[in-house]
Amino acid sequence: MLETHVEVMCPHCGESILLFFELSIEAQSYVEDCAVCCRPMQVSYEVESGEVQNLSVEATD
Ligand SMILES: [Zn+2]
């Protein structure tokens, strides 16, 4: 399975966290809990040519 990881900054606590993305999925949007502060964030991205594009990480409430 092809996957990659990207370091992003948590919108809640500002800590750097690693997100893992599956490159076989064209576009995805989901909620993930921060590994540091455990608060939820909305993650969305697209995959083009085997690379993650248009990555956005936003706070959810
Ligand atoms: Zn956090």
Cα separation of 26 and 11, whole Å?
A: 24
Residue 54 Cα, ligand 1 centroid: separation in angstroms? 21
Residue 41's pLDDT is 97
Residue 61's pLDDT is 78
Q: Determine the distance from the C-alpha atom of residue 39 to the mean position of all C-alpha atoms in its chain, rounded to a whole number.
A: 14
- How many CA atoms within 13 Å lie on the side-chain side of 31? 7
| Domain boundaries, position 46 | 3-59
Residue 17's pLDDT is 96
Residue 40 Cα, ligand 1 centroid: separation in angstroms? 8
| Count of domains for the chain | 1
| Nearest to 26, CA basis, from 8, 7, 45 | 45
What are the φ/ψ torsions at residue 39 (nearest 5 degrees)?
Answer: -90, 150
Residue 22 Cα, ligand 1 centroid: separation in angstroms? 22
Residue 32's pLDDT is 95
Report, as ranges of residue numbers, the positions in the chain whose pLDDT lies below 50.
none
Task: Please state the pTM of the whole predicted model.
Answer: 0.87
Residue 37's pLDDT is 97
| 3-class DSSP state of 52 | strand
